[in-house]
Amino acid sequence: MNSLAPATDASTALTVRIAGHEAVCDWRGVLFFPAMGLMVVSDLHLEKGAAFARRGRMLPPYDTAATLKRLEGVLADYDPEMVISLGDSFHDDEGAAEMPTLFREHLVRIIDKRDWHWIAGNHDPGPPPDLPGHCAREIAIDGLTFRHEPARTAGPGEIAGHLHPGARIVRRGRGVRRACFACDGSRLIMPAFGSLTGALNVLDRAFSGLFERERLTAYMLGRQGIYAIAGSMLR
């Protein structure tokens, strides 16, 4: 079983507090700070199918179109003034340069008239060529730090991606696995937004030391909403 059934504790968006700031976790995998008009998205992995094809592994070539369509929809709903894309926006450094014109024009329309920021990722450390937006290793805003890879020595207020967090619970004797936001009130790690991305269990040792387990909540992305699951319920 890989989906969460509708439940009374589900919503299309849930409010969280991160280092004193209120943010909205949307069930489609974006984070929105209403007071700042700021939206955060992570790990788009655009042109992943094309990257695999260049290496001789054929995947369905629809991931970029699907990701851009979902991104355009969520941007239309929130209409943020500023957008931060937290790295691995493209699956490799060739992705932006080799992107078909149709997709490039769609992406430019999405970015147009917004204060758009590309954070360097491990898959795309260089700035995307010929695309609008600002590029940075990380961004600090009002006590929050936005970067691709979480830093184990980071203080409160870190928002990161990279690890593609997922969570597993057992309901009615059956396991449910979904991508999630992982947050303990001090740090938040974003789910991957891209259509061809997977998820790593937040209990994996890759997350060791990043969260206070007793304060950890997994905001699991269901098919019809988002579900807040206490860390103690995760398996």
Query: What is the per-residue pLDDT across 161-191, written as a single tens digit (0 to 9) for each?
Result: 999 999 999 988 889 999 999 999 999 999 9
| Whether the predicted pLDDT of 6 surpasses 60 | no
Strand partners, 159: 146, 188
- Could you state, in order of their start, the residue ranges of all structural domains in the chain? 10-233
Q: Fold for domain 10-233?
A: Purple Acid Phosphatase; chain A, domain 2 (3.60.21)
- What is the tens place of the pLDDT at every residue in 14-41? 999 999 999 999 999 999 999 999 999 9
What phi, psi does 193 have (nearest 5°)?
A: -90, -25
- What is the tens place of the pLDDT at every residue in 52-107? 667 677 677 789 999 999 999 999 999 999 999 999 999 988 888 889 999 999 99
182: which 2 tokens?
């992982």
Q: Are strands 158-160 and 144-147 parallel, antiparallel or unpaired?
A: parallel
The per-residue pLDDT for 1 is 34
